[in-house]
Amino acid sequence: MNTQEHGTAQEHRATDPRHRATLRWIVAIATVALVFDGYDLVVYGTVVPVLLRDPGQLGTLTVAQAGALGSYALIGVMVGALIAGAVGDHIGRRRIMLTGIVWFSVAMGLSAFVTDLTVFGVLRFLTGIGVGALVATVGALIAEFAPPHRRNVYNAIVYSGVPAGGVLAALLALLASDGDGWRALFLFGAAPLVVLLPVALVRLPESPKWLQARGHTARARQVSERTGVPLPEAAPDPSEKQAKVGFAALATRRYALATLLLGLTSCSALLLTYALNTWLPEIMGQAGYGKSFSLVFLLTLNGGAILGGLTASRVADRFGPQRVIATTFVLAAVSLALLTLGLPLGVLLFLVAVAGVGTIGTQVLIYGFVSHYYDTVARAAGVAWCAGFGRIGGIGGPVVGGALMGAGLPPAYAFHVFAGVAVLGTLVTILVPRRAAASARAPEASAPGALTGGGASVLAHE
């Protein structure tokens, strides 16, 4: 697309009321879905004390079993993300989104009525599959509907639903009664089945870009006309129909190295995210702060991630996500290192908020970076790889933190280790190569801003 054509398309994206309305619905649906995703993943941690104290709920539960149950959902997220990536670029974004909403809602609702520990564990795993499918698909959806100059902002709004859901879980847990009150929390997690699904069925369209990339040209034009979402100027070349799609595309020379590095970047951010969400209250407790501060520290961590992630995304739209992600990793390393100095409470809360930006907020930016890095035929697989492979870090985060705490080391050691992981994340991010220029015949190629290219590289390939 030449400069004039790009300017015309950009103006169309900014002024067409149909496109604006469609984008608002997509952002709203995706954000609410991820709020409940975050809620589902965090709510278990809020009810563990009740399950440990009261054998009448699920049976006798040891601390080790409670930890295993917590990991089942994360393993499910990894499986769900990889499955969505394997099929998402073949069957489309809409089908994966609708299936994911139904899947995790049903599994969450059934969990509220379970009285057996084994069945509860199976349902936690199944819930994670639905969560993973949505997390892996939302980035691709936003990348194909949002204007190029606003993609990182919209992406941050949507993925900020995950920490917002964590905050919601913590707040509702305060209102839940002891005993069977935890069941109401899980039942609430099924609300999207009756609240969100009907709206998504009516208002969530399939991506016209995906339809065109898969050769469904007539349907792509119909959806484009209805939603106001412009199609790329170039139609897919028939000779490219046999091009590799999904995970197969990730293994090509064009993407292989970047895919590995992006997976490690996500792995670093998610390790920090789950390590801090799990162990921050305990670490600060050992540092002399009472249990009443646990919720304050967690709310500050997640609140900082939401506000900081949205701010950083605006910068990413201007200068490119890669350099911003490297910067937020550095902020995480510095803030975590400073948390060991025994500073006043107000300063500690500020540093925890900055750590939230550099960990949870960084993962939000990574999803945006990845969703822009790949072409339409590999986008869902790329985001799924990021969410799935990165989940290894999410699973390992609580384990690493537990090992450090169980070894009887001072709390400062844990923060130093986490700061080291943030430094590693910085280095891996910097090493991600600029995306190779797409073929001139490709139906769409939205390249990310790189360390040397910034937003200009996005426009150049759009």
Ordered alpha helix ranges (H), 112-160: 117-145, 151-159
pLDDT of residue 178: 67
Per-residue tokens: 435: 């995306």
pLDDT of residue 458: 34
Is residue 149 over pLDDT 50?
A: yes
Q: What is the CATH number of the domain that holds 401?
A: 1.20.1250.20
pLDDT of residue 370: 87
- pLDDT tens column, 237-274: 544 444 677 778 888 888 889 889 999 999 999 999 88
Burial of 426 (0-12, 13-18, 19+ CB in 10 A): buried
For 415, residues 6+ apart whose C-beta sits below 8 A from its C-beta are: 283, 336, 337, 339, 340
In the 8-state DSSP scheme, what is residue 116? -
Number of domains in the chain: 1
Write out the residue range of the structural domain in which residue 390 sits: 3-461
Q: What percent of the chain has pLDDT over 90?
A: 26
CA atoms in the 13 A half-sphere facing the CB of 355: 31
- pLDDT tens column, 338-397: 988 878 888 999 999 999 999 988 988 898 888 788 877 777 788 888 878 888 888 887
Residue appearing with tokens 């898969």? 214
